[in-house]
Amino acid sequence: MNPKKLFSALLIASVAFTACKKSDNPIEDPSETIIPENISSFKEIAMIDLGGVTSAEISAYDPSTKKLFVVSNDGGTKVEVIDLSAYPTLTKSRTLTFPTNAGINSVAVSNGLLAIALDGVTKQSNGDIVVLKTTTLEEVKKISVGAMPDMVTFSPDGNYIISANEGEPNDEYTIDPVGSVSVINVKSNYTVKTLDFSGFESSKTSLVAAGLRIYGPKATFAQDIEPEYVAVSTDSKKAYITLQENNAVAELDVVAGTLTKIMPLGIRDISLADNAFDVSDLDGKIQLGVWPIKAFYLPDAISYFSANGSNYLALANEGDTRAWKGYDEEGRVKSLNLDPTRFPTASTLKLDANLGRLTVTKAFGDTDGDGDYDELYSTGGRSMSIINANTGQLIANVGKDLEQRVIDAGKYDDTRSDNKGVEVEGVTVAQVNGKTLAFIGMERVDMVAVYDVSIPESPKFVQLFSTGDAPEGLMFVKPKDSPNGRSLLIVSSEDDGTVRFYQPDKA
């Protein structure tokens, strides 16, 4: 089947309104000098160990001072400052602490400024974006934004700071802040607009029909939306925000400060050979197969790029769900009552060696409301998708090939087959030696895959290499900005607290 049919028909709800853990780099200008490098030869050049779990999550690099800033929640709310001036020798030079904030999620750098995304005193209270000078690390401004600013980035021109404020509920699900996006005007003394999604309430029915997930208990439309990650167009006019749990991408008019579209992402049909999953951790084998299930994409990271005159978004389809003490949508197939007409072999499907242990959502699938499940929806696309940035149309999906490459390399973690597979956590797109490359971080197999997406409709595998434990943040540094004049991929790994630096050989 043509992959374009796998996304539901796109419904664009257009409204112009202003409302009441991570960083991304735009693709470089194609007019910049091309450095001759071998695109399939990325290897680790340097590494620094910053401590335990959560001590290295997201990084941002300042070329003017050769400083790397790394998010750490290990033993406090911190930013570790790493000196790269003697690269590949790395030195931790300073630790910035924020003891009154409940956590730190993201950092970004532009034009000598460092933006830091911090939770409030609790994760459900309004958070802060703190702006520092990268030279002296003195505070320039502190801006209040929405609850849980999960990702912060600058527009490429440096004129705006944008944060995706996730607004997650508390564990009991008794407090559920609205999800929002904050747009900070750097040139206008850091004035801020914080936008929520209440203006789309009137389009809820049609958006849900197109694949948007709205399902939080007792939540309004605005409360249910949970912005995750931001990518900004090269011209700094538009931004695109993943709404992970909602299975959608939103569009923002940066200059006007208005949210203009919600683009639902639909589903992957796992009964099709091109979308095969390994669904069991207890079947005694690692094998991708077809099953009578579907999968919501549920993207985390997003990266903007252009090719052949069109604009695209690369999505890392991780698959986060709502699994809280007060509300948990997750369930295993064997625990569900399946419709006997839709699933005539239900007893066989429920075996542990088949679909029995697969994690699915209990919030969707009872299409006729009779108490049993007529459809089964797995939680996460286990893939990297490319969509048209203007229309939301699916252009390509790298999933089966990606997981099979990991399997063939002997690196697949079969214990995760019943959940998120390789768990595609991060993606960043950049140019290397004139080619447009997508770097795909996979949290559960501790690897990065590289695909050539110069022709977005036909991604081509380039390379697969190991990282630290649970790569969380991927950041690409252009040759003109890197400490040694060569392309540089920086990978922050959450579970072992390492930051690793990868560069290709000369061509």
Q: Provide the 3-class DSSP secondary structure of residue 51.
A: coil
Cα–Cα dist 410/185, whole Å: 48
Compute and round to an integer the Cα radius of gyration of the chain.
22
- Check residue 5 and give left, alpha or beta (phi > 0: left; psi -120 to 50: alpha): alpha
Residue pair 129/113 in contact by the 8 Å Cβ criterion: no
Beta strands in 166-301 (DSSP E): 180-185, 191-196, 227-232, 238-243, 248-253, 258-264, 267-269, 294-296
Contacts of 107 (CB under 8 A, 6+ apart): 23, 58, 59, 60, 69, 70, 71, 79, 114, 115, 116, 117, 152
- Cα of first residue to Cα of last residue in the chain, in angstroms, is 38
Contacts of 355 (CB under 8 A, 6+ apart): 279, 280, 291, 293, 333, 334, 349, 376
Cα–Cα dist 474/341, whole Å: 45
Whether the predicted model's global pTM rises above the 0.85 cut: yes
Residue pair 468/55 in contact by the 8 Å Cβ criterion: no
Cα–Cα dist 84/68, whole Å: 7
Contacts of 247 (CB under 8 A, 6+ apart): 211, 212, 213, 264, 265, 266, 296, 297, 298
The residue behind tokens 């912005």 is: 227
Give the pLDDT confidence score for residue 30 in this predicted structure. 53
Output the DSSP codes for 349-378. Answer: HTSTTTTTT-EEESSS--TTSSSSBSS-EE
Cα–Cα dist 474/458, whole Å: 23
Query: 475 forms bridges with which residues in the sheet?
Result: 490
Contacts of 159 (CB under 8 A, 6+ apart): 185, 186, 187, 236
Give the pLDDT confidence score for residue 32 in this predicted structure. 78
Per-residue pLDDT of 246-304, as tens digits, reads 999 999 999 999 999 999 999 999 999 999 999 999 999 999 999 999 999 999 999 99
Q: Are strands 383-388 and 310-317 parallel, antiparallel or unpaired?
A: antiparallel
Cα–Cα dist 403/382, whole Å: 8
Cα–Cα dist 151/24, whole Å: 9
Contacts of 444 (CB under 8 A, 6+ apart): 413, 416, 420, 421, 422, 423, 470
Residue pair 201/221 in contact by the 8 Å Cβ criterion: yes
For the chain, what's the residue count?
Answer: 507
Residues in the chain with pLDDT < 50?
1-21, 23-28
Beta strands in 135-292 (DSSP E): 139-147, 149-154, 160-165, 180-185, 191-196, 227-232, 238-243, 248-253, 258-264, 267-269
Cα–Cα dist 233/256, whole Å: 15
As given in the structure block, the two tokens for residue 104 are 């730190």
Cis check for the bond before 177: say yes or no (omega within 30 of 0). no
The single-letter code of the amino acid at 199 is G
Enumerate domains of the chain plus CATH numbers.
3-503 (2.130.10.10)
Contacts of 410 (CB under 8 A, 6+ apart): none
Per-residue pLDDT of 477-490, as tens digits, reads 999 999 999 999 99
Output the DSSP codes for 81-127. Answer: EEE-TTTTS-EEEEEEE-TTSS-EEEEEEETTEEEEEE--SSTTSEE
Establish how many alpha carbons lie within 13 A of residue 495's alpha carbon, considering only the half-sphere containing its beta carbon.
10
Cα–Cα dist 43/201, whole Å: 48
Cα–Cα dist 418/378, whole Å: 9
Contacts of 392 (CB under 8 A, 6+ apart): 7, 10, 12, 249, 261, 263, 264, 265
Distances 419 to 225, 361, 456 between C-alpha atoms, Å = 23, 11, 28
